[in-house]
A and B are shown apart, each in its own frame.
Chain A
């Protein structure tokens, strides 16, 4: 049997199950633990934290996760790859090293730090040099929101992670690496895949796509046969068993709950999919229409046939900018005629907002239990609901007006329609909106850097 490399997915987003990383390294043999912490707006949250405290700006949960797997890393050679570095990978590495020292394992970690994705300090220079950083969705040039930009990071690929591994790192911490590169890089490193072996690189990317959302490919959030998915309380997170030829098996540790099957993997494959012919990454363009799945035994799915084509000469850039304020509040109305009461409350509240002269970019009312998620498609079953949650949100540029809105909800309990409750949370909080601006930049302007310490 040819050699396989096991990459385990242990975290699908910042806030995922704290138990998962430890379960992945203790539940059976794995070679690499891959932890994905970054969503589209996470970098801006981290940027704000770093502005308040220069030693912050990374996913602090990662330090706890590292502590929970430290024995496996130190004694069994499991390697960890995570984009937990956020906007401050060096500080993240410092925190992890401090944790290891405190745990009496000072010499156990060789930490690779990948930087170079942060373009915030270079924005004006890039704009001046003619890089317009146009919004990929709207086509607008970045200059429109330049003064409100708070974070800008290029999505970087597998190359610097592979370099860190080649230089002996057993923990690799990156900033805004693509989620998929965290899985593809160790496979590429182990099997020595070249920069133009497009099919193999694409296979590694698709392996990454399958496990980057944690248990979402192993029975979590799975609609197919959901009632019969076993032991979700004990759900097993996914593992890729990769082979040198680019084929791989998706599985999970024996004895864990959940399920890995063709339907569970297929659901994850279509998650957040765009044009399936061209899944563009910094390393390769993967073709999802080439993927073949095959049942390979209990909780094992073989994946093969994947093709890829040359990468583009661009990198995607995730830019975050301040875009006004929002607040969302809610009340619960009870039978009889819960929906009608909630609808009357909405009319009353909107009239009061009008009389106060408050003007918002958007006011959105929803009736949870009747139509909040499926709108008119839900039909009129909500008319008979035992209770309906009235949920109203506003968005606008003026913080004071949004603040004023938040004071208009709870009074409805005494001065609006009857049979109302569910106000224990109090006045809703005003949130500053940090919006997402996807753009492209020439690959040549982004130089990544690897430090191994």
Chain B
């Protein structure tokens, strides 16, 4: 089943130099394992391919039902150097939430995930 990340998580992002961080938080406790299993470092790196210049790091915070991603080379040098509208990486959060995850049907049903089609065009 295809699931829109924006339907199962909220997020906040910020900066440290040329790195943007995105914290992704499950909207329900039972959805955190879905994030942990499917929102992988590789998947996020693919999502931002061509948008960021460096690599991606991923950290798990099961206590907060959150994942933290560091997106390196995301901010055109960052801080005062950056020419970008989003020089501080404030809306990388919702850029990540644009992602859709493919979750096996049984797993999606057990977790009660909302299907992407419910909101689709």
Contact = CB atoms under 8 A, between A and B. Distances in A.
B80 A273 contact: no
B114 interface: no
Given A366-B85, A372-B85, A266 B91 contact: no
B61 to A, nearest CB: 5
Contacts of A375: 50-51, 95
Nearest to B83: A393
A129 B110 CA distance: 63
A223 B16 contact: no
Contacts of B18: 137
B64 A374 contact: no
B51 A376 contact: yes
Which has the most chain A C-beta neighbours within 10 Å: B15, B50, B68, B93? Answer: B68
Contacts of A276: 59, 61, 68
Interface in A85-135: none
Residues of A contacting B: mostly: mixed
Contact of B81 (A271, A290, A433): A433
Interface in B1-48: 10-18, 21, 23, 25, 27, 47
Interface string A173-195: 00000000000000000000000
A435 B83 contact: no
Contacts of A372: 84-86
A173 B29 CA distance: 42
Interface residues on B, range: 35 or more
Given A271-B12, A271-B23, A276-B61, A368 B85 contact: yes
B86 A373 contact: yes
Contacts of B86: 372-373
Contacts of B61: 270, 276, 288-289
A435 B80 contact: yes
Contact of A137 (B13, B17, B83, B94): B17
Interface string B48-59: 001100000001
Given A221-B12, A224-B10, A374-B95, A270 B64 contact: yes
B17 A377 contact: no
Nearest to A272: B14
A292 B99 CA distance: 28
25 contacts: A41-B80, A221-B12, A224-B27, A263-B25, A268-B12, A269-B64, A270-B21, A272-B14, A274-B16, A292-B63, A323-B80, A323-B81, A326-B83, A328-B83, A364-B76, A364-B84, A373-B86, A373-B91, A376-B50, A376-B51, A395-B83, A434-B80, A435-B77, A435-B80, A436-B17
Given A273-B68, A362-B76, A362-B83, 17 more contacts: A223-B11, A223-B93, A223-B94, A270-B23, A270-B61, A270-B66, A273-B59, A288-B61, A291-B63, A362-B77, A364-B84, A375-B51, A375-B95, A393-B83, A435-B79, A435-B80, A435-B81
